[in-house]
Amino acid sequence: MQFFIDSADVDLIAELAETGLVDGVTTNPTLIAKQGRPFLEAIAAICALVEGPVSAEVAATEAAQMLAEGARLAQIAPNVVVKLPLTFEGLKATRAFAEQGIMTNVTLCFSATQALLAAKAGATFVSPFVGRLDDHGAEGTELLSDIRTIFDQYEFDTEILAASLRHPAHVKAAALAGADAATLPPPVFRDLVKHPLTDRGLDQFLSDWAKSGQTIL
């Protein structure tokens, strides 16, 4: 499974990228607005940090303007993925970008039929929002499994990018459901490595080593 960081904080992305475990980044206008820097400048800075896909979202709601904005975003760097809403206008733009060889991430997906439309439009990624579905009494991870079954049945190339993941259990469920990628807020990414028994075991090992009086170097 690929791990993307859902953030526009350049310093934080750089720090997490040093782990060698970050495959890409997803952003949105809200995340970039919080950083207080020009949108295009922020995307360029993030693209310089990671080699993998960097999702940059259009602000338009009409296909023609989405195409204009997406073309501008795609000029920033070869790893830019144009992020589009899962509307008919967004799907029109997705189809046009697919024909141009420009990568897309169709976002705000909440049903398997929406994901099917995105795949038929030629989306590079589709982003089902797991946590937001859970908030409304639905099973977000069940949606991932449904999409996986449909995509495999019809051999779609569109990758499932599990979004709105709020804790490690969501990440585990997304992996078991067959999601190709997961986009994680930095705290969730950090939490993946945590377990109280790991901490307890390490403390015991370090204590025993200190008592031995030995050194490795």
Q: Which of 83, 92, 120, 172 is catalytic?
A: 83
Cβ atoms 176, 162 nearer than 8 A: no
Q: Of 31, 67, 66, 65, which is closest to residue 46 (Cα–Cα)?
A: 31
Q: How crowded is the C-beta side of 151, counted as CA atoms within 13 Å?
A: 28
Task: Please indicate whether residue 172 is annotated as part of the active site.
Answer: no
Exposure string (b/e) for 96-116, b if CB count within 10 Å is 16 or more? Answer: bbbeeebbbbbbbbbebebbb
Q: Rounded to whole angstroms, how far apart are CA atoms 13 and 157?
A: 28
Alpha helices in 75-120 (DSSP H): 88-100, 112-120
Type of residue found at 139: E
Q: What are the CA-CA distances from residue 172 to residues 5, 136, 177 (Å)?
A: 16, 21, 9
Q: How crowded is the C-beta side of 61, counted as CA atoms within 13 Å?
A: 0
> What residues are annotated to the active site?
83
